[in-house]
Chains A and B, each alone.
Chain A
Amino acid sequence: MGGISIEDVSVSYAGNRVIERLSLTIPNGSFFTLLGPSGCGKTTLLRMLAGFLPVESGRIRFGETDVTETPPHRRDIGMVFQDYALFPDKTVFDNVAYGLRARKRDEATIRRKTGEYLERVGLSGFEARRPAELSGGQRQRVALARALVIAPRLLLMDEPLSNLDAKLRVQVRETIHDLQRESAITTVFVTHDQEEALALSDAIGLMRAGKIEQMGPPGEIYAAPVSSYVADFVGAANVVAIRLAGGVEAGGPARFRLANQDIAARAVSWLNEGEAWLLARPEDILLLPTGSGSGLAATILRRQYLGSRTHYRVRLGDDGPVLTVECTGADHARFAPGESVEAVLEPARTLVAPR
């Protein structure tokens, strides 16, 4: 059985073309995240998979089945919403049992399955409560159990963690991770939070203006962004304007001058001569005391001590660009503002992307 495939799909919403001829395949059993800023079309794509939004053109297939014209209640999906969408007048048990009852399972099965999934989300003993008597994290666990208990063909999650506070977010995130891995239900997860995406996904589709800018496993998205947009959205990145003296092949070394010094970096794609972006993650820049002789001359402008690490703002040369540098390890806070240092940009992990 094949996975979920979206073939050449376009969607308009309120007269605007929100998704433009998008194609995408999600392998069976995998956890796929649609990541992007608000308005990039990720929720539209999710609602289209659910069947709540009609597609203008293109096909959607769940395995071999074409579901493009199938109404949502016949798509066999589970959905988890940002605002939990629990039925407020029903108990926790009745909420979770709702989909099983719609599928006309016998009462013994309903009782057993509901109990099993409530236990899995750590809410055994909460059966008789109503949603108003639960915390936000508990509510989202109920919603998760409700969507999973029917063993859907596809699990859809629309920013399920964004209404939770930071600590709960991590806890529920772990629950989602474990349950999805155990059940191996194909999952599409929508978020604007890159940390969630990196932590949970088998693959991430990073969206921009209705299109997928880059798709790949989290490690690839992070370490090898195809554009300044991806580098900037996933993790923190220093993005500096540079000029290339000549064209460079994809993967080849791009040489350029920065703050009156020669630097080399890897080209993410084929680059023309002229303007380009230099991409360097804060943790990929090394600071050394002056006189080490292997880096660019730089000055510390500001130091922010964060316990396990220190963030510096550093100016290259006398009037060059200002970079953010993250130092860890022993003595990470040893440089003081005003101090002259040397900054090393590792050639293998410093990238040049087209402008």
Chain B
Amino acid sequence: MNSRAITTNVWFWLSLAALIVLGVFILYPLINVLASSFGAARADGRSGWQILLAEPKYLRAVSNTVLLGLVVTLTTTLIGVPLAYVTARFRFPGKALIAILPLTTLIVPEVIAAQTWLMMLGNNGLITRTLGGWGIPVPSFYGWSGLIIVMTFIYYTYIYMGTLAAIRGFDQQLEQAAQSLGAAPGRARLDVMLPVVLPAILASALLVFTLVVGNFAVATILGHKVELLSVITYQTFVSEIGNDPVMQSTLASVSIGIVAIALFVQRFVLSRGRYEITLGRGAKPVDIKGAPAFALAGAAAVVVLISLLPLASVIAGAFTRARGPVMRWGEWTTANLERVLINAPDPIINTLIYAGIATALSLIFSTGVSYLLVKKRNALTPAIDYLAALPLALSGTVIGIGLVMSFNQGWLSLTGTAAIIVLAYLIRRLPFGVRNASSTLYNIPNSIEEASISLGVPPLRSFVAVVLPLMIPAIAAAGVLVWTTTVAELSASIVVYSGGRETLPIQIFRLIDSGLMAQASAYGLVLVSIILIPIVVATTVFRLDIFGAK
């Protein structure tokens, strides 16, 4: 018997097992969604696609969604790119404030961002009423203006971080070379730096576009009369008339299609100019003083303050007395928090349990899958790689609908269980976990494992003894990030959850819907704490580089 053939086979069988798991829980639901959009809907026998093309409501939703995606991508780029450039190249008073930017997007879930903006600028908002009391009319925050403003301030940090990393990695010698050849400094920067940084900007812009298209929380809370794909997909799903599987599939398929087209366009643009980007020594930030420094510091401060507004208002809201939907600003109380912590703690407990299980499983599965992808390549691993990245292109609503359609009955009936919520969490965060573990594994040379094997330790024990310890800091950092994004998950879990299994974001969403902002803020404060505490512990006690892992 050939023992080496057996060890080779062990990895092959593990790959096959991973592929089957991914196939059942990612590919099968996706195929279900796409396939059932071609089935006959309603009594008149029209397919979902025929109805889509016939009813203006649906077409408007498609065009509104694409338009919103484009506008927010543009506004986030306009804020994120200059901010990144300024941070990378200049030193000015208050620059340290900008360093907390990535943190704000992480710790404030979208549903809380939407809620807090409403508490300020909604019909009953603090600012609206204060200005109204002075006789200054404030235009309605619902609809386009609210959608664009809130999404811009939620998503610009993605562009900022992507661009910042690229500019910092840009070899300044290229710019100096261009100048030495006679190009003026500004011209040199544009000629040499832009082409190198552009792929990073495009990649983060695409990410923002897909996030906007898939956004559920802000779209539902602020969309109002603006029809958006994610909103009507969800409405079709929960509709009183009995849910409409064909139409929900059709609408979900459309959003998959929009993201697919965006991915294709990005690939096409990037492939037209391919460079090998050599990472070099980035430029040192230059001091600026005087009026320009104040202007820069001022502009940066405005951006940061607006980013921090949700955090400040959720804290204030949680401690503000309320009578029904009316907030009595200035009257402080702990009643809201007592209520959510003592009388109705179920959403908190649910969130901790579901997200805890999902985070643990996610780390184990993504570490294993990444090990196969990086160290034990075989005929199956490209398919695993592709399937594990697929959820990136799917919105939470689509993943949720796919799961409900696929595991409602039959051999694996999960509807109504906690397992389907955990599964939704796992699938949504899988690409992130795998990418993170893979990049760590790429940095651990094969020779370390081989050295251990050559000294007489069998392969699996070698992995545990020498490779795993090296991965622990990265796994822990990834764990914190998976946790923070999982406890904030709304769009997939709201589709798959059943009564009594509300999580914090779901409960907050429902309270916002009923206009009970104070209680929503109290739950929001708990949610932010659940997110923030692991981050603080990880970065200060264990000194983990969480944002480097991103």
Tell whether A and B belong to one assembly: yes
Most chain B C-beta atoms within 10 Å of own C-beta, residue among A88, A102, A150: A102
Query: Is A73 a contact partner of B458 (Cβ separation < 8 A)?
Result: yes
Docked CA distance A267–B476 (Å): 68
Cβ-closest chain B residue relative to A103: B456
Partner of B447, one of A70, A75, A83, A103: A83
- Residue of A54, A71, A75, A81 near B451 (CB, 8 A) is A81
Contact B4 A69 (CB under 8 A): yes
B contacts with A, residue count (CB < 8 A): 21
Identity of the chain B residue whose Cβ is nearest the Cβ of A149 in the assembled complex: B455
A52: chain B residues within 8 A (beta carbon): 450, 453
Question: CB of B2 within 8 A of chain A?
Answer: yes
Decide if A71 touches B448 in the complex (CB within 8 Å). no
Chain B, residue nearest A99 (CB)? B455
Does A27 count as interface, using CB distance less than 8 angstroms?
no
Question: Are the C-beta atoms of A87 and B452 separated by less than 8 Å?
Answer: yes
Chain B residues in 8 Å Cβ range of A83:
445, 447
Q: Is B454 touching A89 in the complex (CB atoms < 8 A)? A: no
Q: Contact: B3 with A69, CB < 8 Å?
A: yes
Asked whether any CB of chain A lies closer than 8 Å to the CB of B469, the reply is: yes
Is A277 engaged at the interface, CB distance under 8 Å to the other chain?
no
A86 to B466, CA, bound (A): 10
> Could you count the A-B residue pairs with CB atoms below 8 Å apart for me: how many are there?
73
Question: Are A76 and B456 in contact, CB atoms less than 8 angstroms apart?
Answer: yes
B455 partner residues in chain A, CB cutoff 8 A: 73, 78, 98-99, 102, 146-147, 150
Q: In the complex, how many angstroms separate the beta carbon of A71 from the nearest chain B beta carbon?
A: 6
Instruction: Determine if A251 is an interface residue (Cβ-Cβ < 8 Å).
Output: no
A134 nearest CB across to chain B (Å): 16
- A234: shortest Cβ distance to chain B, in Å? 28
Closest B residue to A150 by beta carbon equals: B455
Query: A98 vs B459: C-alpha distance in the bound complex, in angstroms?
Result: 15
| Given A83-B447, A89-B470; A98-B454 close (CB under 8 Å) | no
Shortest Cβ gap from B464 to chain A (Å): 13
What are the residues of chain B within 8 A of A156 when measuring CB–CB?
A: 454
| The residue from B2, B450, B458 contacting A85, defined by CB atoms under 8 A apart | B450
Q: How distant is A57 from chain B, measured CB to nearest CB, in Å?
A: 13
Alpha-carbon distance A50/B452, docked complex (angstroms): 12
Question: How many chain A residues touch B (Cβ–Cβ < 8 Å)?
Answer: 32
| Residues in A neighbouring B7, C-beta threshold 8 A | 71
Q: Which residues between 42 and 60 of chain A lie within 8 Å of chain B, taking CB atoms?
A: 50-52, 54
Beta-carbon nearest neighbor of B469 in chain A = A89
A79 contacts which chain B residues (CB < 8 A)? 450-451, 454
Q: Which residues of A contact B462 (CB under 8 A)?
A: 73
Interface centre among A51, A71, A75, A85 (most CB of B within 10 A): A85
Interface check B177, CB cutoff 8 A = no
User: Which B residues touch A82, using CB under 8 A?
Assistant: 447
CB neighbours of B469 from chain A (8 A): 89
Chain B minimum-CB-distance residue to A158 = B447
Q: How many angstroms from the CA of A86 to the CA of B452 in the assembled complex?
A: 9
Contact at B456–A150, with CB atoms within 8 Å?
yes
Query: Among residues 64 to 80 in chain A, which have CB atoms less than 8 Å away from a CB atom of chain B?
Result: 69-79
Quick check: B448 and A85 within 8 Å, CB to CB? yes
Q: Shortest Cβ distance from A158 into chain B, in angstroms? A: 8
- For the complex, is B457 an interface residue (Cβ under 8 Å from A)? yes
Distance between A193 CB and nearest chain B CB, rounded to angstroms: 20
A74 to B162, CA, bound (A): 47
Tell me the nearest residue of chain A to B5, going by C-beta.
A54
* Least CB distance, B466 to chain A, in whole angstroms: 5
Q: How many Å from the CB of A252 to the closest CB on chain B? A: 49
B461 vs chain A, min Cβ distance (A): 9
Inter-chain CA distance A102–B466, complex, in Å, is: 13
Min C-beta distance of A203 to chain B, whole Å: 23
Query: How distant is the Cα of A82 from the Cα of B450 in the complex, in angstroms?
Result: 12
Known: A81-B447, A89-B470, A102-B457. A69 touches B452 (CB 8 A): no
The reply to whether B454 and A50 contact each other, CB–CB distance below 8 Å, is yes
Known: A54-B4, A83-B445. 9 other contacts (CB 8 A): A52-B450, A71-B4, A75-B454, A77-B454, A85-B448, A87-B452, A88-B448, A98-B457, A156-B454
B contact residues vs A (CB 8 Å cutoff): 2-4, 7, 445, 447-448, 450-459, 462, 466, 469-470
Residues of A within 8 A of B (CB): 50-52, 54, 69-79, 81-83, 85-89, 98-99, 102-103, 143, 146-147, 150, 156
Q: Which 8 A-B residue pairs are closest in the complex by CB-CB distance? A: A99-B455, A85-B447, A79-B454, A85-B451, A81-B447, A102-B456, A102-B457, A73-B453
Listed A/B pairs (16) with beta-carbon separation below 8 Å: A51-B4, A69-B4, A70-B3, A71-B459, A72-B453, A75-B454, A76-B456, A77-B454, A78-B454, A81-B451, A83-B445, A85-B445, A85-B447, A86-B448, A89-B470, A147-B454
